[in-house]
Amino acid sequence: MTFGKTLEILLVHCQGESGNVLVSGAPEIPGATILDKMNHLNDVDPSLRLFLTREPRAQVVHTTNLLLPPTRPDADAGFIVLQPDRAHPMSGSNCVCVVTALLESGRVPMVEPETLVRLDTAVGLITARARCENGRCVAVSLDNVPAFVQQLDAPVVTPRWGTIKADIAFGGVFYAQIDVDKVGLRITPEAARALAEAGMEIKSLLAEQMSVVHPEIPSLDEIAYADVPRLSAGRVDRHLHHAEAGEGGPLALRHRLLREPRDPACAGPPQGRRQADLALDHRRRVHRRDDRRDHGGGPSGGAPAHHRPGIRLRPAGTAARSGRPLRHRLRALGHLGSAGGRAMTLGGKTILVTGPTGAIGRAICVALAAEGASVGIHHGRNRASAEAILAEVGGRGFVLSADLSDPAGATALWRAA
């Protein structure tokens, strides 16, 4: 797969959860539907996904949403969730990010106080209602696709913990939930690595011992995440933290696990998982239709979800979801935009950039200087290129030389800066 030299990406967050949106520059993805296009990215050519979600452009918990023209007439736009392990069909927090990007970039006209946005996804049509004020998207609620339980108390034979039980549910993707007590761990930042390794091991065992399939979309046939939440009174308790593992390795944890419980930007699980939680609670009769659940939330002060009538799959229900987007934009290589509606400024800051004499490093220096920073421009041997960058940023900085292959050189560089 080939694509242009410039990709335009908007950096968007939903209550602290990153969900970048690729809005232009992507190649044409073969397929008549969004599902076909997702399957192409997974089964035929993953190069665009790998380019966007692996280092040095990203890291293991990174998501980039591929914005696409809709393939159905009742949708405003389509999107696919690209993550390091594979392309995924649906994510609530990423829906919020995509809606925010569409409205604030003008790709979908904004109507205050509420704009209706319909998204074409691999699992069906998602209807989003965006609350808009003063040209900004301040909150988004979603009518998600139906969630349902695949199996309760599915036995999983493990070499470390014997036979344990897992609950399998669908909430945009398939999730497996295993009580953290069954693997002898506690959900704390200190246990992050052990929790990730346990989730990865269980996910691998589930793939060997159990098959899943969506009753209406046969190509959705794998468990995407293995969770080890704390269960209480037969229901999922996510008020503190949770761990998850995909194929990304031990670091494939949602970032909230590694932060303090009091951090409001990382409270609560991703939105698609809330739908799976609701379906499991409903099946276990600890939750009734039209009940509401509040899993915590970010700056909005809470993120309720509740069942909606009109079940068309196994006993469960569709779920509504709401969240507040936090905005931060990066256009191409050179423009740093706004964060939370305020212009970002680096005035009075000195920032050291090592090895910036290539195209990417040069663009970083230009962007930092444009935001008011004094830029320390390091070079190893190419002083002329470093001085050319200094001239390009209008002299807002200084040039430093150091051999970073020598540990002493790094120390000297830092002291000089």
Which comes out higher in pLDDT, residue 293 or 416?
Answer: 416
Domain ranges of the chain: 8-145, 148-287, 345-416
Which comes out higher in pLDDT, residue 11 or 74?
Answer: 74
- The b-or-e profile of 344-353 (16+ CB within 10 A means b, else e) is eebeeeebbb
Where does 148-287 sit in CATH, by number? 3.10.310.10
- Separation of alpha carbons 41 and 78, rounded Å: 15
Which comes out higher in pLDDT, residue 192 or 161?
Answer: 161
Q: Is 91 a catalytic residue?
A: yes
Whose structure tokens read 């023209």?
Answer: 69
Beta strand 8-10 with 335-339: parallel, antiparallel or unpaired? unpaired
Mean pLDDT over all residues of the chain?
A: 75
Same topology for domains 148-287 and 345-416, yes or no? no
* Cα angle: 242, vertex 138, 304; to 5 degrees: 40
Give this prediction's pTM: 0.65
What CATH superfamily is the domain 8-145? Diaminopimelate Epimerase; Chain A, domain 1 (3.10.310.10)
Instruction: Give the domain 345-416 fold.
Output: Rossmann fold (3.40.50)
Which comes out higher in pLDDT, residue 157 or 236?
Answer: 157
pLDDT tens digits, one per residue of 324-352: 444 333 332 222 233 333 344 678 888 99
Of the residues 18, 24, 47, 91, only one is catalytic, namely: 91
Whether the Cβ atoms of residue 374 and residue 350 lie closer than 8 Å to each other: yes
* Whole-number pLDDT of residue 359: 78
Which comes out higher in pLDDT, residue 365 or 333?
Answer: 365
pLDDT tens digits, one per residue of 374-407: 999 998 888 899 999 999 999 999 999 988 888 8
